[in-house]
Amino acid sequence: MAEKKVCEDLVKERKKCTFNVEELTRLIDGGEDKTMERREVEDMVINAGGLSTKDEVPEEYLSHKERYENAIRKASRLFEVFREYAKTHDTTDAFSPTNKYRVSFGVVKDISPFMLHMGMFVPTLMNQSDPDQVAEWLPKALSMQYIGTYAQTELGHGTFLRGLETTATYDPSTEEFVLNSPTLTSYKWWPGGLAHTANHCVVVAQLYTKGVCHGVHPFLVQIRDLETHMPLEGIKVGEIGPKLGFQTANNGFLGFNHYRIPRRSMLMKNAQVLKDGTYIKSKNDKLTYGTMVFVRVLIVTDLAYELSRAGTIAVRYSAVRHQSQPKPNEPEPQILDYVTQQHKLFIGVATSHAFRVTGNWLWNSYSKVIKDVSKGNMDQLPELHALACCLKAVCSRDAAARVEEFRLACGGHGYMASSNLPIINGIVTATITYEGEFTVLMLQTARFLVKAWKEATTGKVKTPTVSYLVEFFKNDRVIWENTPSTMIKGFQAIAAGKIRTAYETLEKHVKSGMDYEDAWNSASVQLVNASEAHCRAILTEISWKEMVRLSTTVSPSLAQVLLQLAELYLIYWTLEKRGDHLMYSTITRDDIQKLQTRYEELLALIRPNAIGLVDAFDVRDEILNSTLGAYDGRVYERLMEEALKSPLNAEPVNQSFHKYLKPLMLKAKL
Ligand SMILES: CCCCC/C=C\C/C=C\C/C=C\CCC(=O)SCCNC(=O)CCNC(=O)[C@H](O)C(C)(C)COP(=O)(O)OP(=O)(O)OC[C@H]1O[C@@H](n2cnc3c(N)ncnc32)[C@H](O)[C@@H]1OP(=O)(O)O
Ligand SMILES: Cc1cc2nc3c(=O)[nH]c(=O)nc-3n(C[C@H](O)[C@H](O)[C@H](O)COP(=O)(O)OP(=O)(O)OC[C@H]3O[C@@H](n4cnc5c(N)ncnc54)[C@H](O)[C@@H]3O)c2cc1C
């Protein structure tokens, strides 16, 4: 088939670009070799038989059941393709931010029913099992003989893990654990793939041995027969029903009726139960929560990727869409030329870069701390936990806001399922809740910050990410200059100031006679604000420093663009938080006006590169799945082509006319 022509607007936009798009793509991927490899994987998947979505009825028209079956068919075929690839390639980076397997969105549009298998089941087996268990289970999980999920949340409790009700009681006479769901609220509820996909799962349950409860621990549990896939006796399993998004994730429920599993089914890297029922404690009981920390860390770079998908759609559409006539007798401008539109779009693009570089930095910190933990050194674990919590929470909330802004920037067409913005919205919004709910994670970081504040009052802090607190003691009002380093110092002063205020409020409540827990609750709005401010201080500092560092590794033309994006991100947030800056620095109305002017200058400087910037994200049309965002910009043609796929358009008159409308019309005549 002849290549369809690229829309003239996009041809012109691409000519305006001042930097080498391919150079930026390689930087985003982490190097030329990574870009080549990613493209190789994408070509392999897109061209593999049985995976193309091109000529299919769009999945939104399928029933709930058909949609799941379609997702399973494709996810299975995709796995086969990857299995072939893994025979000759190193695939370990599937568990790192540079993972090249995001191509799966080109196969299953929404969430794959295998997401939890690769995202949490396999990592938990790898990181929580002892070496013998890893040797036995991991090959089976990696080859999909064991299809798994991570079953922790229950109907009654998701946040409060110590409150989980599922029990695993050790019976030394048979050397087995007895799993039981004593109440309705103890049923597992939510795990992805649990409903009809998984035959195994990691179950988090309260461990009882010798009549003593030792808290929650992970167990590997078979739930379905490997031949027939029937639920095993003592297992009640099913699907929880439609949700806002995640339609093909196959989220399920699970109950146990005195269901027996062998002693060695407990994941025993950290804690153990011996044959006689003796309990050996973990060096640190929070190691059981390790998979959650791992996923929270990965979510930050994944959000950057989702922003790159949504941004590509909205920016390309904005270059193709013309609307209104500000100047009489002149053509309608591209909506991308409206400065308000640039304000909606460019901060989303800049945020994608800020999250990617901060996410990579967080991943490096995580890898270092986990290495230390494996040698028995847990010193940095609290700081890592505090960082992962607030970054996951704030980035997911910001990303959801940015995706919504991208959708709004596409006007009515952004509301179409065929734009793919609604599905991306559903995927991103879910991250605010799963893997630790927003407020709950912010309060975890606040616990750390309160301790850090107490430490800082002695003039020293042990952890580098809060060293700014000591600076604040010397000078609690930053002397303002409109420079990046002052803006960063400003965010640190705001964080320190808000931590101090929250801490003082907490102390005041305690001194007034409140229990610490009640005082904490009373101060919790301020504590969440303090966590947010701390996170903004981290995001602004790390994203700026990383972008500056990267700019020294690329050509001058690209360096200029990277610095513009980094500055835009800093100024955007300085302006957003101008009230806070007024409290903790000498910033003046005049400084703020100058920053606003600079912000608008940056929008104008970025404008010619808008299409180049999203082209550099290099999200293929097959992965973008969007009528509005395709590389060729044939927006209207695609919207019509997709509309014509509606089953309602298969016949000129729908039968409901004869059944309902006609009788209604006839009655009107009487
Ligand atoms: C955009 C697409 C993204 C794609 C991402 C990629 C892959 C994704 C794959 C799968 C994800 C898909 C679906 C999601 C699946 C799930 O949601 S799984 C379920 C997740 N559940 C949670 O996250 C539960 C949240 N709750 C908790 O983590 C804990 O219960 C709690 C809130 C932290 C409280 O725990 P508790 O035991 O009560 O602790 P307490 O508050 O008393 O604190 C005690 C001290 O322990 C410290 N601590 C707590 N957690 C950790 C930890 N993980 N590591 C280190 N330390 C920890 C805490 O700070 C306290 O310290 P103090 O010194 O006492 O202050
Ligand atoms: C799409 C999706 C996929 C998921 N996949 C999985 C999965 O695969 N496996 C799995 O085990 N789980 C999964 N979950 C469950 C998820 O991890 C939990 O829903 C999440 O951790 C939040 O817990 P919760 O639902 O109990 O919320 P709740 O804790 O009940 O939250 C409700 C409200 O109460 C507030 N609140 C609760 N505790 C406190 C507190 N201490 N202080 C202040 N406010 C508080 C919260 O801020 C929130 O506003 C999934 C959830 C979703 C939405």
pLDDT at residue 80 in the model:
93
Q: Do 140 and 149 touch, CB atoms closer than 8 A?
A: no
From 430, 451, 486, give the residue that closes a domain. 430
Q: Are residues 265 and 165 in the same domain?
A: yes
- Three-class SS of residue 259? strand
Give the closest residue (by CA) to ligand 1 atom 44.
286
* Strand 150-151 to 200-209 pairing: parallel
Q: Are residues 272 and 296 in the same domain?
A: no
In the chain, % of residues over pLDDT 90: 90
Report the C-alpha gap between 565 and 561 in whole angstroms.
6
Give the closest residue (by CA) to ligand 2 atom 49.
439
- Rounded mean pLDDT of the chain? 95
pLDDT at residue 93 in the model:
80
Residue 635 lies in a domain: no
Tens digit of pLDDT for each residue in 97-146?
A: 877 778 888 888 999 999 999 999 999 999 999 999 999 999 999 999 99
Report the C-alpha gap between 454 and 449 in whole angstroms.
9
Phi then psi for residue 57, to 5 deg, are: -65, 130
Pocket lining: 389 vs ligand 2, CB cutoff 6 Å: no
Of the candidates 273, 361, 349, 267, which has an alpha carbon nearest to the alpha carbon of residue 310? Answer: 349
Report the C-alpha gap between 7 and 257 in whole angstroms.
61
Report the C-alpha gap between 531 and 393 in whole angstroms.
10
The CATH number covering residue 318 comes to 1.20.140.10
Contacts of 235 (CB under 8 A, 6+ apart): 223, 224, 254, 255, 256, 257, 259
Pick from 152, 153, 527 the residue to mutate for probing ligand 2's pocket: most ligand atoms within 8 Å of its CB: 153
The pLDDT of residue 564 is above 60: yes
Pick from 286, 305, 443 the residue to mutate for probing ligand 1's pocket: most ligand atoms within 8 Å of its CB: 286
The pLDDT of residue 3 is above 70: no
Q: Number of helices (H) and strands (E), helices first, in the chain? A: 24, 11
Rounded to the nearest whole angstrom, what is the distance from the C-alpha of residue 593 to the centroid of ligand 1? Answer: 42
Rounded to the nearest whole angstrom, what is the distance from the C-alpha of residue 153 to the centroid of ligand 2? Answer: 8
Distances from the Cα of 461 to the Cαs of 386, 393, 445, in angstroms?
Answer: 15, 24, 16
Q: Considering every ligand atom shown, identify the ligand nearest to the alpha carbon of residue 287 and give its number.
A: 1
Average pLDDT of span 30-36: 95
Give the closest residue (by CA) to ligand 2 atom 12.
153
Report the C-alpha gap between 578 and 184 in whole angstroms.
49
Q: Do 26 and 35 touch, CB atoms closer than 8 A?
A: yes
pLDDT at residue 98 in the model:
76
Pocket lining: 159 vs ligand 2, CB cutoff 6 Å: yes
Terminal Cα-to-Cα distance of the chain (whole angstroms): 57
Contacts of 135 (CB under 8 A, 6+ apart): none
| Atom number of ligand 2 nearest to Cα 204 | 11
The pLDDT of residue 391 is above 50: yes
Q: Do 409 and 635 touch, CB atoms closer than 8 A?
A: no
Q: Are residues 317 and 241 in the same domain?
A: no
Residue 135 lies in a domain: no
Domain tally, the chain: 3
Q: Find the residues whose C-beta lies inside 6 A of ligand 1.
A: 115-116, 119-120, 150, 152-153, 158-162, 192, 286, 289, 292-293, 295, 298-299, 302-303, 306, 381-382, 385, 427-428, 431, 434-436, 440, 444, 447
Q: Do 204 and 164 touch, CB atoms closer than 8 A?
A: yes
Report the C-alpha gap between 140 and 199 in whole angstroms.
12
Assign 415 a pLDDT band (cuts: 50, 70, 90): very high
Tens digit of pLDDT for each residue in 442-496?
A: 999 999 999 999 999 988 888 899 999 998 988 889 999 999 999 999 999 999 9
Rounded to the nearest whole angstrom, what is the distance from the C-alpha of residue 248 to the centroid of ligand 1? Answer: 25
Q: Considering every ligand atom shown, identify the ligand nearest to the alpha carbon of residue 438 and give its number.
A: 2
| Atom number of ligand 1 nearest to Cα 381 | 55
Average pLDDT of span 655-668: 94
pLDDT at residue 1 in the model:
43
The pLDDT of residue 356 is above 70: yes
Residue 382 lies in a domain: yes
| Atom number of ligand 2 nearest to Cα 439 | 47
Angular region, 144: left φ>0, alpha ψ -120 to 50, beta rest: left
Rounded to the nearest whole angstrom, what is the distance from the C-alpha of residue 435 to the centroid of ligand 2? Answer: 8
| Atom number of ligand 2 nearest to Cα 152 | 11
616 by Cβ neighbours in 10 Å (0-12 / 13-18 / 19+) ranks as: buried
Of the candidates 635, 620, 646, which has an alpha carbon nearest to the alpha carbon of residue 309? Answer: 620
Find the catalytic residue in 13, 42, 165, 435. Answer: 435
| 153 annotated among ligand-binding-site residues | yes
The tokens of 630 are what?
A: 């395709």
- Three-class SS of residue 439? helix
Q: Are residues 312 and 425 in the same domain?
A: yes
550: amino acid identity, one letter: L
Give the closest residue (by CA) to ligand 1 atom 37.
162
| Atom number of ligand 1 nearest to Cα 150 | 18
Say how many C-beta atoms besides its own lie within 10 A of residue 57's C-beta: 13
Q: Are residues 348 and 410 in the same domain?
A: yes
Pocket lining: 191 vs ligand 2, CB cutoff 6 Å: yes
| Atom number of ligand 2 nearest to Cα 245 | 1
Residue 234 lies in a domain: yes
Pocket lining: 436 vs ligand 2, CB cutoff 6 Å: yes
From 587, 610, 644, give the residue that closes a domain. 587
Q: Are residues 414 and 449 in the same domain?
A: no
The tokens of 435 are what?
A: 């893997």
| Atom number of ligand 1 nearest to Cα 292 | 23
Displacement of CA 587 from its chain's centroid (Å):
35
Interface predicted TM-score of the whole assembly (ipTM), two decimals: 0.98
Residue 653 lies in a domain: no
Tens digit of pLDDT for each residue in 331-350?
A: 999 999 999 999 999 999 99
Contacts of 524 (CB under 8 A, 6+ apart): 443, 446
Q: Are residues 207 and 101 in the same domain?
A: no
The CATH number covering residue 167 comes to 2.40.110.10
Bridge partners (DSSP) listed for residue 219? 203, 266
Q: Are residues 367 and 458 in the same domain?
A: no
Q: Are residues 426 and 459 in the same domain?
A: no
**How many residues would you count in the chain?**
670
Rounded to the nearest whole angstrom, what is the distance from the C-alpha of residue 60 to the centroid of ligand 2? Answer: 27
Assign 2 a pLDDT band (cuts: 50, 70, 90): very low
Q: Do 320 and 332 touch, CB atoms closer than 8 A?
A: no
Average pLDDT of span 223-243: 98
pLDDT at residue 81 in the model:
92
Report the C-alpha gap between 104 and 110 in whole angstroms.
9
Rounded to the nearest whole angstrom, what is the distance from the C-alpha of residue 180 to the centroid of ligand 2? Answer: 22
- Three-class SS of residue 662? helix
Rounded to the nearest whole angstrom, what is the distance from the C-alpha of residue 635 to the centroid of ligand 2? Answer: 38
Give the closest residue (by CA) to ligand 2 atom 1.
430
Q: Answer yes or no: 435 catalytic.
A: yes
Pick from 385, 397, 448 the residue to mutate for probing ligand 1's pocket: most ligand atoms within 8 Å of its CB: 385
Q: Are residues 332 and 468 in the same domain?
A: no
The pLDDT of residue 30 is above 90: yes
* Strand 188-189 to 212-222 pairing: unpaired
Q: Do 443 and 527 touch, CB atoms closer than 8 A?
A: yes
Helix H or strand E segment including 352: helix 339-374
From 215, 248, 282, give the residue that closes a domain. 282
pTM assigned to the model: 0.97
Report the C-alpha gap between 610 and 564 in whole angstroms.
12
Of the candidates 422, 499, 402, which has an alpha carbon nearest to the alpha carbon of residue 456? Answer: 499
Residue range of the domain that includes 242:
147-282
Tens digit of pLDDT for each residue in 299-320?
A: 999 999 999 999 999 999 999 9
Bridge partners (DSSP) listed for residue 255? 236
| 426 annotated among ligand-binding-site residues | no
- Please compute Rg for the chain using Cα positions: 27
Residue 636 lies in a domain: no
Residue 132 lies in a domain: no
The pLDDT of residue 504 is above 60: yes
Distances from the Cα of 238 to the Cαs of 71, 147, 187, 504, in angstroms?
Answer: 17, 16, 11, 49
Of the candidates 336, 249, 358, which has an alpha carbon nearest to the alpha carbon of residue 7? Answer: 336
Say how many C-beta atoms besides its own lie within 10 A of residue 485's C-beta: 11
Phi then psi for residue 271, to 5 deg, are: -110, 160
Q: Do 345 and 318 touch, CB atoms closer than 8 A?
A: yes
Residue 652 lies in a domain: no
The tokens of 617 are what?
A: 């994200």
Pocket lining: 289 vs ligand 2, CB cutoff 6 Å: no
Query: How would DSSP label each residue in 168-233?
Result: EEEETTTTEEEEE--SGGGSEE--TTTTTT-SEEEEEEEEEETTEEEEEEEEEEE-B-TTT-PBPT
Average pLDDT of span 243-255: 97
Q: Which residue has the higher pLDDT, 368 or 95?
A: 368
The tokens of 38 are what?
A: 């990613």
Distances from the Cα of 644 to the Cαs of 190, 637, 652, 654, in angstroms?
Answer: 36, 11, 12, 15
Pocket lining: 443 vs ligand 2, CB cutoff 6 Å: yes
Q: Are residues 167 and 265 in the same domain?
A: yes
Report the C-alpha gap between 78 and 95 in whole angstroms.
17
Rounded to the nearest whole angstrom, what is the distance from the C-alpha of residue 435 to the centroid of ligand 1? Answer: 7
Rounded to the nearest whole angstrom, what is the distance from the C-alpha of residue 392 to the centroid of ligand 1? Answer: 11
407: amino acid identity, one letter: R
Pocket lining: 150 vs ligand 2, CB cutoff 6 Å: yes
Report the C-alpha gap between 360 and 102 in whole angstroms.
17
The tokens of 478 are what?
A: 């930053």
Of the candidates 120, 162, 159, which has an alpha carbon nearest to the alpha carbon of residue 141? Answer: 120
Q: Are residues 328 and 425 in the same domain?
A: yes
